[in-house]
A and B are shown apart, each in its own frame.
Chain A
């Protein structure tokens, strides 16, 4: 019965705070992270709104058709999609209690994430060489802020994932590391979703 009502009674448990069941606390923390993700939805929402509104204001500078090289962008889209899948496989391995496979899949995910970041940095360097900097036009300011914020999230996720792999190597699969793996895989899927919209709205609609 207690098991059954875990998430339902979690609130009362925490507010009475006399006895915290571990599964309940970890579940509450996961939910807290979910709320953070929703605030991130709002941040990206405002950045998307700014981009959509400003994308026509080129100030005589280059537009998306001349700037974007779709080959690299499509490659990085599939890389991020695959990394979302491998972070799911990491969670699966964790539920099976297989620490080696869990750390392996997290490593693969981090590697794919790093490749994504390298491609993105290369793209930004290419843009700056073309004379398209963040201060060239309103379109480019909005572009660099939106895409750069996503890239920053991925970079933070990378550091976090490497730290988590070290923790897993030290402590193994405990309720705490379990929750952390769940949370980072949520974060990673979320970043993939954001990228899908960046890819669609900025790149695909831009070159069209």
Chain B
């Protein structure tokens, strides 16, 4: 049981491979070209445009996390993932909270 787990070299957690890095790189190139063409050729207007652009950006963030930062290969007590989630919660509260109060404030306008 333990033997089986120890077949991996010690620092396998952050190793990755040329293949995984290249896949990640190609993904991020594609995910950059899509929003650029969407904007330059004016595929979508208003809200749809915003959703397309933000989806591409968030997907690219996920690609970087998985293929470049190796978040998925972390060992069991997943402190990195937990602190990342904490950071993202604070980030979303700050950004969405500010937008909600400052841009959609019915009292001020």
Interface residues, chain A, with chain B CB atoms under 8 Å away: 1, 3-4, 6-8, 23, 31, 34-35, 37-39, 41-42, 44-46, 48-50, 52-53, 70, 74, 77-78, 81-82, 84-85, 88-89, 91-92, 95, 182, 185-186, 189-190, 192-193, 196-197, 199-201, 204-205, 207-208
Contact = CB atoms under 8 A, between A and B. Distances in A.
5 contacts: A42-B87, A78-B29, A185-B68, A196-B61, A199-B57
Nearest to A205: B53
B25 A42 contact: no
A200 B15 contact: no
Interface in B22-36: 22, 24-25, 28-29, 32, 35-36
Contacts of A182: 14
Interface residues of B, number: 54
B76 to A, nearest CB: 6
A185 B75 CA distance: 19
Contact of B88 (A41, A74, A197, A205): A41
Given A31-B80, A46-B94, A53-B99, A200 B53 contact: yes
A88 to B, nearest CB: 4
Nearest to A95: B15
Contacts of A201: 57
A180 to B, nearest CB: 13
A26 to B, nearest CB: 10
A53 B28 contact: no
A201 B50 CA distance: 9
B32 A78 contact: yes
Main secondary structure of the interface of B (DSSP, over half): helix
B10 A92 contact: no
Interface of B: 2, 5-6, 10-11, 13-18, 21-22, 24-25, 28-29, 32, 35-36, 39-40, 42, 49-50, 53-54, 56-57, 60-61, 64, 68-69, 74-77, 79-80, 83-84, 86-88, 90-91, 94-95, 97-99, 102-103
B91 A196 contact: no
Contacts of B32: 77-78, 81, 196, 199
B57 A196 contact: yes
B77 to A, nearest CB: 5
Residue picked from A44, A49, A185, A192, most chain B C-beta under 10 Å: A49
B99 to A, nearest CB: 6
Given A45-B94, A49-B99, A182-B14, A85 B80 contact: no
B62 to A, nearest CB: 10
Contacts of B36: 74, 204
Contact of A88 (B68, B99, B102): B68
